[in-house]
Structure 1
Amino acid sequence: MKITIIGAGKLGVMLAKTLTAENHDITVIDINEDKVEKLAEMLDVQGVGGSATHYNVLEEADMKNCDLIICTTPSDEKNILSCLIARKMGAKHTIARVRNPEYSAQMNFMRDELGISMMINPDFAAALEIFRILQFPSASTVESFSHGRIHMAGLKVSETSLLANRKISEIPNKFINSFIICAVCRGDDVFIPNGDFIILPGDILHITGSHHDLGKIVKELIAKKSTNVKSVMLIGGSRISIYLCNMLTASGKDVVVIEKNKNNCDKLYEHCPKATIINGDAGDYELLAEEGIDKVDAVVTLTDTDEVNFLVSMYSESIGVPKNITKINNQNLSRMLTKMGMESYVNISEITSDIITQYVRARSSVSSSNMKTLYKLVDGKIEAIEFAAGRDIKFLNKSISTLKIKKDILIAAIQRKNKTIFPTGSDVIKENDRVIIVSKDTKIYSLNDILS
């Protein structure tokens, strides 16, 4: 596809890297010509300097032949306007990053009347991911499929876990057909395991299970001392905090928000009436102690500064808070957090990039097996993808044991109407099933791509 990315910030650069690696023809537009020049040198992309709200700049980017324009600047209004101009000039599809909830609420109008294909609110997406993790606090990551019926959780194996030092085939019978271990991280290595794979303490398992059963499975097999989160402290009063605060209070959680800026506190008072709002500096440990950081079940650091988030999370971890989630902007910090045993973090650019990559792959495929969800895990080494099985799938109604599936690809789950299936060799995929595929080092565009 011929794709134009507007904005060479963190998200724009991440998208340029990801989509170039998937062999798309990429053009990047940014008002900062130095940024464009450096990016063009670093990646195999075309660069155009200037404002994407100007007709002549978009014309230079060959907008009439553009398959997709992705607008990622910090300004909602510029992103929307750039999409509208690009559509008038001939761009086939448009995506706008939009943070203002008022614009997000008008998505149907923007799509049907103005022709904007997709609007992404990164703050809401990040809040939703954090909320999912807090529902399964023993997990470092939680991905959701099939409208929340199936989850994939990242879980660290302890010395006392029932799974430690066992082959996967030796998992107790009562758990068979209730979950699947899709991937195992061991240090810097990642494996798609088979039944003979031996699980070791310290491994991080990525497990798929139903929403109803996953908590019980985690408690019995992985973490018997799993904490049920009832109270949460949010550090920073950003838009993410507002979305997350309302999700948490609506589910009955007690929430305290600490925010340094008085104007932001006023917004929090207005939008989060059920939360306790504290105007103060999260760098003041006496304040944190006074507000009971040592008594809450979870701390989520959401300031705009990685260093503050990192330090507060480290402090929270050191005093024994059961669950800590850190927002990071610098992708390189993720490995440092993992090495320190702080596996739960969110990167807004990564979350947004995954959503956009899923859209691009879905548009790139001619198959009827529509891609519904895509997550990149373990620094992109693993992908978990949900497809709706169309009638052109070559192996409909054939036993999985008869299929020649490529190496390091696993069918992790099947959702058939209201029935969740964790497949064995005798199961089949039927038309309209939702199918979860996990792959290592292989890009999947259609269900047919899993066959060798």
Structure 2
Amino acid sequence: MKIIIAGAGDMGTHLAKMLSGNGHEITVVDVDSKALAEIDSLVDVVTVEGDTTQFSVLRKSGVRKCDLFIAVRSVENDNILSAVVAKQMGAKKAIARVDSSEYLEPNSKEVFIDMGIDYIFYPEHIAAREVINLLGHTSTTEYVEFSGGKLSLVAFRLELTSPLLGTKVIEESMDEDIDYRTVAIVRGSQTIIPQLDDHYEEGDMVYVIARNNATQRVVEQSGRNDVTIRNMMILGGSRIGVRIASELQNDINVKLVDYNADKAFRLAEFLDKTLIINEDGRDTEAMLEEDIAGMDAFVAVTGRSETNILAAMLAKRMGVKKVIAEVENINYISLAESIGVDTIINKKFITASNIFRFTMATDVQAVKCLTGSQSEVMEFIVKPNSPATKGAIKDIGFPEDAIIGGVVRGDRVFIAVDDTCINAYDRVVVFSMPESVMRVAEFFN
């Protein structure tokens, strides 16, 4: 697939790395020659210097033969205009990043479709929704629903009190009608696709596909209990922080901390039921005075990875039960996890999750790039006569570094095992390492 990425910033660079690794032909366009030189040194891509709102630059980038145009420049209007023009000039599909929730309204989406833009996404809005969802599942580090909630991916770290410690994966598969299955174990820096004789250790990050009636039992395996969130502190008056506060302030007690006095004053007018505090979240004494130790949840979303990690570390040390931090520097993610941050959110992974499905030939309903394991979980609709329908899972040559976790067949929902046979039009949820994603997709096409 020929893909053009408009924008060589952090997000554009991450997309180029991810998509080029799957065999696509990538062209990156930006006005910044230094940014292009840097991305060219990191990834095997074609770079074009110029403004993607200009016809001549789009022609030079090969837009007439483009299968997918992705606009992720820093300015919203540039993204919209670039995507519209690219589609009119021949791009088969055009996607644009926006910075306003107004554009996500159904009527607004129809306008963009009429303009030729196939999909718009607002990473900060999606990140806020993920945080709010996780606050309802405090024992988990990641929680993703598929097929309207019929199947869920649940991730949790094993505590010393977990009943799973020392047991083998095979022991959870002894029932004939199992309702959950471990699809991955992250131990240190290694992601393991578990075999039946693999066992669980303290500190493991465990990824499980579960039927909706089993998620609570799965969570209990972690050794932690869910906490009802009544008091929450948000660090950072960013778009993510403001969105979270505005959606939760009517239901729980919310404090929002920001070091910028002018911003804090403006936020106090907008968030009338949120307590706005003008302090530096890295100041231990100030945070103690604002009762960080009395919070049920702490969310650090300043936009600065280092600040978020330091503040999250303080919150964890003070005994806050659920700690979430935005970490945009991918190199810092393992550090944040090692100091006990419960959940990491990253806009690059969020963007990748929303774009990746457009690069596949098969019918992909959802893709989630998992922060903790840097892998993917996907929901496919199986096409007739596809390789997946040619026998039991154990006999079709499915990639070893991927695993089919669950199947939805009409009203029936079940967990897949080696003897499971996949039918046309089934919905299947698959966990896969990045290098096998395209091979996995071929099985359902």
The question of a shared fold, defined as TM-score above 0.5 by the shorter chain, is answered with: yes
Task: Mark the runs of 5 or more structure 1 residues left unpaired by the alignment.
Answer: none
1:330-378, Cα deviation, whole Å (9 max, x unpaired): 11000111222325211111211222122222xxx1x4xx111122336
Secondary structure of 2:34 counterpart: helix
Q: Does 1:432 align with 2:419?
A: no
Equivalent residue for 1:259?
A: 258
Distance in 1 (CA, whole Å) between partners of 2:371 and 2:176 is 26
- Partner amino acid, structure 1, of 2:344: Y
* C-alpha RMSD of the superposition: 2.5
Equivalent residue for 1:223?
A: 223
* Cα deviation, residue 398, structure 1: 5.0
Equivalent residue for 1:118?
A: 119
Equivalent residue for 1:78?
A: 78
TM-score normalised per structure 1:
0.90
Distance 1:428 1:107, change over 3 A: farther
* Cα deviation, residue 314, structure 1: 1.0
Secondary structure of 2:135 counterpart: helix
Q: Which of 404, 408, 412 is the equivalent residue of 1:411?
A: 404
Task: Mark the runs of 5 or more structure 2 residues left unpaired by the alignment.
Answer: none
Equivalent residue for 2:140?
A: 139
1:141-180, Cα deviation, whole Å (9 max, x unpaired): 2233223332212211123211100112223978961211
Aligned residues: 443
Moved more, 393-402 or 155-164: 393-402
Moved more, 166-175 or 289-298: 166-175
Equivalent residue for 1:449?
A: 442
1:30-429 → structure 2 map (5 Å cutoff): 30-105=30-105, 106-171=107-172, 177-219=178-220, 221-249=221-249, 252-265=251-264, 268-269=267-268, 271-361=270-360, 365=361, 367=362, 370-377=363-370, 382-396=375-389, 398-400=391-393, 403-425=396-418, 427-429=420-422
Q: Is the 8 A contact 2:134 2:141 kept in 1?
A: yes
Distance in 2 (CA, whole Å) between partners of 1:172 and 1:395 is 22
- Partner amino acid, structure 1, of 2:216: G
* Cα deviation, residue 104, structure 1: 2.8
Distance 1:309 1:383, change over 3 A: same
Distance in 2 (CA, whole Å) between partners of 1:424 and 1:262 is 57
Distance 1:176 1:57, change over 3 A: same
Distance in 1 (CA, whole Å) between partners of 2:15 and 2:4 is 10
* Cα deviation, residue 281, structure 1: 3.0
Distance 1:247 1:9, change over 3 A: same
Distance in 2 (CA, whole Å) between partners of 1:419 and 1:207 is 19
* Cα deviation, residue 413, structure 1: 1.0
Q: Is the 8 A contact 1:389 1:447 kept in 2?
A: no
Distance in 1 (CA, whole Å) between partners of 2:395 and 2:343 is 38
Distance in 1 (CA, whole Å) between partners of 2:338 and 2:59 is 47
Q: Is the 8 A contact 1:235 1:257 kept in 2?
A: yes
Distance 1:290 1:210, change over 3 A: farther
- Partner amino acid, structure 1, of 2:294: K
* Cα deviation, residue 379, structure 1: 6.5
Q: Is the 8 A contact 1:136 1:215 kept in 2?
A: no
The alignment-based identity, stated in percent, is 27
Moved more, 104-113 or 125-134: 104-113
Distance in 2 (CA, whole Å) between partners of 1:278 and 1:211 is 39
- Partner amino acid, structure 2, of 1:122: P
Distance in 2 (CA, whole Å) between partners of 1:180 and 1:62 is 45
Distance in 1 (CA, whole Å) between partners of 2:403 and 2:218 is 20
Distance 1:397 1:28, change over 3 A: closer
Q: Is the 8 A contact 1:87 1:115 kept in 2?
A: yes
Secondary structure of 1:11 counterpart: helix
Secondary structure of 1:198 counterpart: coil
Q: Is the 8 A contact 1:3 1:69 kept in 2?
A: yes
Distance in 1 (CA, whole Å) between partners of 2:441 and 2:355 is 22
- Partner amino acid, structure 1, of 2:145: S
- Partner amino acid, structure 2, of 1:297: D
* Cα deviation, residue 71, structure 1: 0.7
Distance in 2 (CA, whole Å) between partners of 1:431 and 1:253 is 45
Moved more, 236-245 or 116-125: 236-245
